[in-house]
A and B are shown apart, each in its own frame.
Chain A
């Protein structure tokens, strides 16, 4: 059974697949740049995590706060800002009231960052939504969310 981190990532991808703007273009762990046929899209990453111990008995219960990063990518010659903001709105609605199938105690948006690159044949933009996913596991059972 995979680590809860992977389960969270996969649950987020399932929820984000099929949104109006990005449709089926939702990917995890991309290693190569995406071409126009895959845009606009969402990339889902499970990043750094802080862990604290909440019990003194063994095995310890771990309070885990995971950074779930959703990156919206688009290329457009007009209204790129509007497209990225619309992508963000759809992501926020989709993830704004979910416990990812019981995996997390809370999933809260913590930041949004944007970046633009107009050096190519069409401008590209990204909007990065970072969520904090709070979940618990036993110290010796990282694949089971408590």
Chain B
């Protein structure tokens, strides 16, 4: 049985780990799950790999380069990864 809107909405609950409210251009706010895991490049440079997961229906026209603010930090969308369960995973880059 495929996920419906209610199933997907259950993932974006304030009790879920990483829950955050993201603010996009124009003041649009969307509930999502934010992770900012440690990452390295070339084995020599340490940083992080921020990613935001949201319901695809909540952001029908999101595009690479769009600005988004999460937890008082400004990012730009670097990559959009649609998933078959009706969610979008967006890899972020600090502005």
Contacts and interface: CB of A to CB of B under 8 A. Distances in A.
A pairs with B: yes
Interface range on chain A (Cβ under 8 Å from partner):
20 to 34
A118 B46 CA distance: 13
Interface residues of B, number: 20
Nearest to B39: A120
What is the interface of chain A mostly: helix, strand, loop, or mixed? Answer: loop
A35 B45 CA distance: 6
B42 A126 contact: yes
Contacts of A126: 41-42, 44-45
Contacts of B75: 121
Nearest to B49: A120
B18 interface: no
Q: Choose among B36, B40, B50 the residue with the greatest number of A CB atoms under 10 Å from its CB.
A: B40
Given A118-B78, A119-B39, A121-B50, A73 B45 contact: yes
Contacts of A120: 39, 41, 45, 47-49
B77 interface: no
Contacts, number: 61
Interface string B63-76: 00000000000010
A75 interface: yes
Interface string A14-32: 0000000000000000101
Contacts of A35: 46-47
B84 interface: no
25 contacts: A30-B44, A32-B46, A33-B40, A33-B43, A35-B46, A35-B47, A36-B47, A71-B44, A73-B44, A73-B45, A75-B45, A75-B47, A77-B95, A118-B78, A118-B93, A119-B41, A120-B49, A121-B93, A122-B47, A122-B94, A123-B93, A124-B41, A124-B42, A124-B45, A126-B44
Interface of B: 36, 39-50, 75, 78, 91-95
Given A117-B41, A118-B93, A121-B47, 17 more contacts: A33-B43, A33-B44, A34-B44, A34-B46, A35-B46, A35-B47, A73-B44, A75-B45, A77-B94, A120-B41, A120-B45, A120-B48, A121-B49, A121-B93, A122-B47, A126-B41, A126-B42
Interface pairs A-B: 5 shortest CB-CB = A33-B46, A117-B41, A124-B41, A120-B47, A124-B45
